[in-house]
Structure 1
Amino acid sequence: MVQNPNMTHLKISELVVLPPLWIRCDGSDPEHTCWLGAEPLKAGNKITGINFYMVTCDADKTHFANLEELKMAHKKKHHSSIVMTKGFAQYELMRAAAIEDTIVESESNISVDITWNTVDKVLETPPLISAAMLNIVLESGDPRSPVYQLYRELQFLLALAEGLKTGVTEWPEPLESESAVELVREFLTGNCILFLLKTNKLFQKIKCDTAAVDSSIKSIFSERGDLDFAEQLWCKMRSVSSYQELIECFTLIIKSLEHGEIQPWIHQGSSSLLSKLIQQSYHGKIEVISLSGITPIQMLLEIGLDKMKKDYVSFFIGQELATLTYLDYFISTSVDLQEQVHRVQKLHHMLEIMVSCTVLLQFKHENLFPLTQICMKYYKENPLNEKHVFQLPIRPALVKKFYQNDHPEIWKVDISSAHGQKEAKTTWQVSTNPPVEHMTSNNTGLFSDSTVNGSSEERMYFITMAQCSQVHFT
C-alpha cells in the first residue's frame, strides 16, 4: 500500500522506492515455504508495481513434477498463451571421474553448468547444442596426484621461507630415508669427471615431451634431465631435518669448492649465493661466507626456488601452454624472496589444475591452453586462492561421457512469459543439497539409487519451486 501511488488517502508527499524485502520462513506450513519476497517494479524513479515471490522446498516428494502441468499452471496464473522454457543442469565431474578406481575426495571440485533453451521434459539430459561452463576448484596436495612429490618439495620450500621470516624453522619430515649430509658427501666425493660428462650429456638431451599426453600419468610430468649442480644439490638437501645438518652440508660444499675438488657447471642467470660462489671458484678464489644466522636457510631457499621455477617453466613451455615472456611475472627475481615463493605457489596450483584436467577429464592441448591463460591472468592480478572457481566455457560433448549416465546435482527449468517489467517466471528445481541454508535435511526425503564406479549410494533430492505474482499499479 505504501508503494502504491494510487493510495492518495495515505497522504505520502514523496514516494521512496523501498529495497527488496525477503522474509525467511521455517517451512512449517503445508507448502513448506522457505522464502517470501517482494520487489518493487519501477521505471526510472516511478513505482509501477510489485513482484511477489514464494519459494517452497520439500524433501518428501514421491514423484517429480510433469512439465506440461507446470506450463499449464503458469499460463493459467499469469493469463498467458505462450511460455518459454530454459533448462539448467549441474553435474559433478570430479566425483564421477576416478584415479585407479577410487573416488577423489577432497575440497576439490570439478563441475559443469549446462544451460539450454526449450526443455522437453523434466530431468532430461541436456542436448549437445547447450552452453556449458566448467567450474574448477582445486586444492593442491592430493597424495594420488602425479605431482604429489613436487607438492612435498614445495612444502619444504615454504617451511624454509617461513623460517626466514620468523627465525624459527619447522623442519618437515625428510623426503629421503638417508641423511642429507651423507647424500651430499656421496654426491661430492663421486667421480667429478664422470659427473661433468654425465650432466653435459643430459644438458644436451633436455626432456621436452610436447606430444599429446596419453593415458600414462607418468608422461604428464617428469623430472627434468638438465639439472645443474645446484639443482642436484637441492634434490639431496631437501631431506635436511635440522639446522645443524644444514650447516654441515654447506660446510662440505664450500670446502670442496675452496680446495678446487669440484668444477661444477651451473645454469646461466642463476642469482643465488651458492651460484656466485661456484662462479668465483672457476677463478680459484671464493669469498668467505659465515654459515650462521639465517644465511644457510636463505642459501638453501635460493637454490630450491631456482630449481622449482625451472620445473614449472619446463612443464608449461614443454606442453606449449605458455611462452617464457608470459611466465616472466611468475619467475621474476626483481621481487623479494617471500614474494618469489608466493608466485611459485601460484605456479604449482596452476600445474595441479592442468594435471587434474588431463588425468581426470582427458583434456587435450586445445582445452588446456585457454584454461592456462585464464589461470595465469587471474594469478597475475590476485593472491594465491585455492578456493577460487576457475571457469572455462566448453562444449558439452567434451565431458558428456562423464555425466551422461550420472544424476545431476541440480536440475531446473525456468518457465517464463511476457517481457520486460511484465515478465513472470516459475522455476522448478531438484537438487541433492538443500537450496537454502536454513532448511533442515532430517526429513524422510526422496531417494534415488545412483551408481558411481560400481558402488551404490542413496541420495536425497530436494524439490524447490519459485513462483511469482505481480501487482501492477498502472
Structure 2
Amino acid sequence: MDRATIADFKSSIFEVISTKSAKSYGSDCSIDFFTNDPRKPSRQTQKVNYGTDGLRYLDNYLPKEIFASNKNILVVRKGQPYPIADLTDPEDAVTENEEIIPTSPQRKLSTKSFGKIFNKNQNNLSESDGSPLKLQSYADFSFCDSPSYNSPAIFHRPQGVIYVPEGFTCRMSRHLVSLFNVNYTELMDQSTDVISKLPSFWSLCDGTDIQSTVLMGAIPVLYKSEAACHWGLKWTTFTQVETDDIDSIEEKVFNGRVTNNNCFARYDVVQSSAYQGTVSLEFTWKKGSKLLQKPEFCSEAVIKASVTSGDVRSPVIGLFKELTILKSFMSAITTGEINWATSKDDTLPLIDQVKELIESMKLGDAENLNRIQGDDSKQSPMDQFKLEERLDYDFTDYLWKIMITCSSYSELTASLNYIFRALSKGEFQPAVHKKNKTMMAQLIRDSFTGRLVIPHMGGIFPLKLVVEMGIEKLRCDYAHAFVSLDLTTLVHLNYFIQTDLELQEKINNLEKLHHSLEMVVMIHLFLGLPYSFISSCVQKMLKYYESKPVNISEVFEFPVPTKQDLLATVKSSLPSLWSLTVQKKVGNLDLTESKVWTLTTSQPFVHLKKEDDDEKDDKRNEEKPKLFVTYREDSISILG
C-alpha cells in the first residue's frame, strides 16, 4: 500500500466530507455521504445528497451508536455516483441547506387544478381508489373495495429512477477499509475536535467469499479516562446465510457460552400496503434460549405506529371528509380556488335541501332532522370502535351538513339569501347553542329581536359563514368523540377547541385532533387493546401536538404492558425481524464489543436482492420458511 494511494484516498474522503456529496474513487468506486437527520430525531432516517432506494436498511443493521447526533457515514460501493438529474426534477433540486432522504426518488407533485370559486368544477369529492385489506381478525376489511378518500392530503409522490447499489468482493472491501484505517491512524496526533468529526466507514460486499460477507466497516471510537482521551477503531463485519435449518444454527449460537443475552423481535401488524398506516409491535427481553423465541411475559413491549388519514374503512372517515371539505372552503378564502362537489342526479339541489331543512324546523320534524344528521352512518363499516354521533345538533350544524354538498358559488349564495329572507320575515326561529359564536348564530339571534340586517352575499363573506359553521360543528364533534369514549377529558382538549383563534389556527387544531383520533382508532382496531390503554395513547398524542404541527410521517411510540392478549396477537406470526445480542466489555474500558444474530424472512440488504426473490417468497412453505440469518461481529482496537 504505497503512500500515493493512501494520500489519494485521504483526499477523496475529506472532499466528500467537506462537500457532503458523493465522489468517484478510481474507475469503479463511489464514496457516498450520509448524515443523521436532525429534523426527525425519532426516526433513524439518514440523508444523502441524492435519492437512492438502496441504503435505507442501514439504520436497522448497523450499530446504533453510529447514528448519534452529528455522526456522518461514508458508504463505498461499486459503480459511479448516481446522477442527480435522473433523480429529481429541476424545480426539486437540492439546495445548500436541503438534502434528500435516501428512499425512493422524490419528485414534487404537480399543482392540482382547482376550479375558481365562481366557476363550477366537476371533481367528485367522494371518489376513492385502492384495494381491499385482508389482515387481522380484529378488523376484517375484505368486503370493502376502496382504501383511500380522494384528498390532496393522501396523494403519494410518483416513483422516479431507482438505483440499486452493488457490492465489492470481500478482498476489495478489506482493501478499502484498510485504506480508511491507515488514514485514521495517521490522524492520531490531531486534535480531539478533528478526529471526532471523522465518519464511520462502510463497504458493501457481494457475499461471494467463503464466509458470505455482506458488509464491513470501521467506526471511530473514543474512550475518556481520567488522564487522557483514547482513540480507537471498531471493526465490524456482517456475514449472512439463507437457510431453513434453524436447528443447526441454533446449536452454534447456544453452545453453552451464550447465556447472558438480549433478544429483540419486531412484528408488523399493519403495513402501509394494506391500510393507510403502519403498526408494529417490538419486544425486548433478556436470556433468550432459542432462535425465533416468542416474547416472554417479562418482555418490554412498544407499539410503533404511523397513520395517514383518509382510509374509507376507518370508523372516522366521515369526520375526515368533513374536515377535508372544510379545508377546501378555507383554501377558497385564502387563494380563491376550491374543489366544488359534483351534483348528483339522485341528490336534491342545495336550495331544495335548505327549504326542506327550514320546513322540518318549523314542524319540529325530528325524523327528517335525524336523516340529515345520520347521512354518514353507512360510511363507518367497522363496529369494533363505537363512535356515536352527537344528538345535540343546532341549526348551524344541520346547515353545515347541507352546505358540504354545495356545487357552485352561485348555489351557495342563493341558499344563504333564502335563509336570511326567511329569518327576516320571522318564518322560523331555529335554535342555536349558547356557546355558538359564529356569525350565522349571531345573525339568527338578531332575527329573534327583529334586528336582523341581511348581509350582502358577495366576495368571501359567504365562504367565511360556511367555514365558521364547519369549524364549530367539527369542534364539538371531536370533543364529543374523545369524551364519549372516555379517551380524555375536556380539560385536556381545551388547547385544541379554544375559540379565540384565527380561522386557520382553528382548522390546524382540528387536524391535530383528527390525526390523534385516527391513530388510536387504528391501534384499537388491529390490536384490540382496552380503552384504558388507548386513553394513554391519546394523552401522548395531544401532548405532542400542543407544540408540534401535524406530521403524517412521524412514528409514534407507545409503551404497552405485555399481557396475554398482546402476546396472543403474535403467537402464530413470524417476526419481520428477530435478533439476539451478546455484549462483552473490552478490558477495563467503558467500551463493548457485540455479537448479533439477526433473522429476517426477506433479504434485508438491497444490494444483495435478486430479481426472482419476490417470486421465491411467494412459493415458500409457510411451515418451514427460508430465513436470512445475518451475523454481526465487532472487534475494538485502541490505537492511542
- For the aligned pair, the TM-score class normalised by the smaller chain equals 0.7 to 0.9
Residue in structure 1 matching 2:529, options 346, 358, 363: 363
Instruction: Identify the residue that residue 46 of structure 1 maps to in structure 2.
Output: 229
Code of the residue aligned with 1:89 in structure 2: it is A
Instruction: Identify the residue that residue 282 of structure 1 maps to in structure 2.
Output: 448
CA distance in 1, matches of 2:610, 2:502: 50
Instruction: Identify the residue that residue 21 of structure 1 maps to in structure 2.
Output: 200
Task: Check 1:121–1:146 CA distance in 2 against 1; reply closer, same or farther (3 A cut).
Answer: same
Residue in structure 2 matching 1:61, options 243, 248, 255: 243
CA distance in 2, matches of 1:431, 1:67: 15
Task: Check 1:118–1:238 CA distance in 2 against 1; reply closer, same or farther (3 A cut).
Answer: same
In the alignment, is the contact (CA less than 8 A) between 2:390 and 2:477 conserved in 1?
yes
CA distance in 1, matches of 2:304, 2:426: 56
Residue in structure 1 matching 2:332, options 152, 163, 166: 163
Instruction: Identify the residue that residue 582 of structure 2 maps to in structure 1.
Output: 415
Q: How far does residue 241 in structure 1 lie from its aligned partner after superposition?
A: 1.2
Paired residues for 1:61-460 under 5 Å: 61-64=243-246, 66-70=249-253, 84-94=260-270, 105-173=274-342, 177-190=347-360, 192-195=362-365, 217=383, 220-397=386-563, 398-418=565-585, 421-436=590-605, 438-442=607-611, 444=613, 447=617
CA distance in 2, matches of 1:450, 1:28: 23
Task: Check 1:91–1:47 CA distance in 2 against 1; reply closer, same or farther (3 A cut).
Answer: same
Deviations 1:27-73 (A, max 9, x none): 25422322322323422552253321112345x4353363441355x
Code of the residue aligned with 2:514 in structure 1: it is H
CA distance in 1, matches of 2:414, 2:556: 45
Task: Check 1:319–1:13 CA distance in 2 against 1; reply closer, same or farther (3 A cut).
Answer: closer
In the alignment, is the contact (CA less than 8 A) between 2:298 and 2:562 conserved in 1?
yes
CA distance in 1, matches of 2:283, 2:559: 10
Q: How far does residue 262 in structure 1 lie from its aligned partner after superposition?
A: 1.0
In the alignment, is the contact (CA less than 8 A) between 1:434 and 1:441 conserved in 2?
no
Q: How far does residue 422 in structure 1 lie from its aligned partner after superposition?
A: 4.6
In the alignment, is the contact (CA less than 8 A) between 2:537 and 2:558 conserved in 1?
yes
Task: Check 1:143–1:12 CA distance in 2 against 1; reply closer, same or farther (3 A cut).
Answer: closer
How high is the TM-score relative to the length of structure 1?
A: 0.83
Instruction: Identify the residue that residue 99 of structure 1 maps to in structure 2.
Output: none
Code of the residue aligned with 2:327 in structure 1: it is L
Question: Larger RCO: Structure 1 or Structure 2 (Cα < 8 Å, ≥ 6 residues apart)?
Answer: 1
The 3-state SS of whatever aligns with 2:546 is helix
CA distance in 1, matches of 2:277, 2:516: 13
Q: How far does residue 277 in structure 1 lie from its aligned partner after superposition?
A: 0.3
Task: Check 1:107–1:190 CA distance in 2 against 1; reply closer, same or farther (3 A cut).
Answer: closer
Task: Check 1:458–1:309 CA distance in 2 against 1; reply closer, same or farther (3 A cut).
Answer: farther
Task: Check 1:381–1:438 CA distance in 2 against 1; reply closer, same or farther (3 A cut).
Answer: farther
Task: Check 1:169–1:13 CA distance in 2 against 1; reply closer, same or farther (3 A cut).
Answer: closer
CA distance in 1, matches of 2:613, 2:445: 73
Q: How far does residue 182 in structure 1 lie from its aligned partner after superposition?
A: 1.4
Q: How far does residue 406 in structure 1 lie from its aligned partner after superposition?
A: 0.6
CA distance in 2, matches of 1:323, 1:450: 50
Q: How far does residue 379 in structure 1 lie from its aligned partner after superposition?
A: 0.9
In the alignment, is the contact (CA less than 8 A) between 2:320 and 2:514 conserved in 1?
yes
CA distance in 2, matches of 1:393, 1:319: 21
In the alignment, is the contact (CA less than 8 A) between 1:49 and 1:470 conserved in 2?
yes
The 3-state SS of whatever aligns with 1:467 is strand
Instruction: Identify the residue that residue 140 of structure 2 maps to in structure 1.
Output: none
The 3-state SS of whatever aligns with 1:42 is strand
In the alignment, is the contact (CA less than 8 A) between 1:3 and 1:47 conserved in 2?
no
Task: Check 1:61–1:20 CA distance in 2 against 1; reply closer, same or farther (3 A cut).
Answer: farther
Q: How far does residue 94 in structure 1 lie from its aligned partner after superposition?
A: 2.4
The 3-state SS of whatever aligns with 2:575 is coil
Task: Check 1:282–1:26 CA distance in 2 against 1; reply closer, same or farther (3 A cut).
Answer: same
How high is the TM-score relative to the length of structure 2?
A: 0.62
Unaligned runs of 5+ in 1: 76-80, 96-102, 201-214
Unaligned runs of 5+ in 2: 1-177, 371-380
Q: How far does residue 371 in structure 1 lie from its aligned partner after superposition?
A: 0.4
In the alignment, is the contact (CA less than 8 A) between 1:34 and 1:57 conserved in 2?
no
The 3-state SS of whatever aligns with 2:295 is coil
- Taking only aligned residues, the RMSD between alpha carbons, in angstroms, comes to 3.3
User: Quick check: 1:36 aligned with 2:254?
Assistant: no
CA distance in 2, matches of 1:166, 1:391: 37
Task: Check 1:396–1:177 CA distance in 2 against 1; reply closer, same or farther (3 A cut).
Answer: farther
Code of the residue aligned with 1:401 in structure 2: it is A
In the alignment, is the contact (CA less than 8 A) between 1:266 and 1:275 conserved in 2?
yes
CA distance in 2, matches of 1:197, 1:462: 62
The 3-state SS of whatever aligns with 1:464 is strand
In the alignment, is the contact (CA less than 8 A) between 1:199 and 1:228 conserved in 2?
no
In the alignment, is the contact (CA less than 8 A) between 2:385 and 2:524 conserved in 1?
no
